[in-house]
Chain A
C-alpha cells in the first residue's frame, strides 16, 4: 500500500497570501495524483487530477505540480472561501486508493 504524507498539518495564512501544500508518496505514483478540498460539514470536492489538471470550474489560482513522489498544491492568492482542509490522493497503485492525512489552511 502506498502511504501519502502531507505537510504541514496546518497552514496559517492571511487572505491574499500564497499557500504551498506538500504531499509525499512512499513510492512513485508517477503523475497519478489528485487533490480534494473539504469544508466543514461538506463532502470533499475535486480540485486537481493528473497532478496538474484543474477540474471543471476550479479557479486558476489553484495549481498543482510534481511527479514521482513529491507533489505540491499552490493557491496563488488565498480567498476567504479557500480556507479548508486539502487532501492528496494517489491512484497509481490501487486498490487501495490512498489519501494523505490532510492539510488545514486556516485564517491567520
Chain B
C-alpha cells in the first residue's frame, strides 16, 4: 500500500524539542523529494521544509530556519524533522508530503494523515 505515516507528535513545553518521523511504504522512497507542511488549528497550510533525493538540497521556511532540521534515511524509508526551540506558534498538525513531477509541474501527490504537535506550558 502506497502511503506515508507521520509519528512523534505530542505535547511539549515552549523551548523544548521534538523529533517527527515520516515513514514511507509501497513505493521507491529514494526516488522522491519529501516536504513537511503544517497546519495550525483552524488555519491554512504552511510549507516548512523540503529535502531532495540524496539530501543534496534542503530548504526551510523563514519561520523555522535555524530551529528545525530535516533529514532522511533511505535505508529506513523515512524522513525526519528535528524541531528545537519550539514556540507556541509551532502548534499544528504536521504533514509529510511526497513531491511528484510532470514535465515542469510540481505537486504533492501523496500526504500522510498528519501528527499533532502542541507547544504549551
Bound-complex Cα distance A3 to B107 (A): 18
The answer to whether A96 and B107 have CB atoms under 8 Å apart is no
A50, closest chain B residue (CB): B105
Among B35, B47, B107, B114, which residue has its beta carbon within 8 angstroms of that of A43?
A: B114
Write out the residue numbers on chain B whose beta carbons fall within 8 Å of the beta carbon of A32.
104-106
Q: Known A43-B112, A50-B102; judge A55-B47 contact (CB<8 A).
A: no
Q: Give the interface size class of chain B.
A: 20 to 34
Write out the residue numbers on chain B whose beta carbons fall within 8 Å of the beta carbon of A53.
102, 105
Counting chain A CB atoms within 10 Å of each CB, the highest count among B47, B61, B103, B113 belongs to B47
A40 to chain B, nearest CB (A): 11
Write out the residue numbers on chain A whose beta carbons fall within 8 Å of the beta carbon of B104.
32
The answer to whether B107 and A49 have CB atoms under 8 Å apart is yes
The prevalent SS among residues of B at the interface is strand
Bound-complex Cα distance A53 to B102 (A): 10
Q: Give the interface size class of chain A.
A: 20 to 34
Q: Does B50 contact A (CB under 8 A)?
A: yes
Q: Interface readout for A68-108 with B: 1 if CB under 8 Å, 0 if not?
A: 00000000000000000001010100111111111000000
Write out the residue numbers on chain B whose beta carbons fall within 8 Å of the beta carbon of A49.
102, 105-107
Q: Interface readout for B104-118 with A: 1 if CB under 8 Å, 0 if not?
A: 111111011110000
Q: Known A43-B95, A43-B114; judge A99-B45 contact (CB<8 A).
A: yes
Name 6 A/B residue pairs within 8 A (Cβ), A-sorted: A43-B111, A44-B45, A49-B106, A91-B105, A95-B47, A99-B45
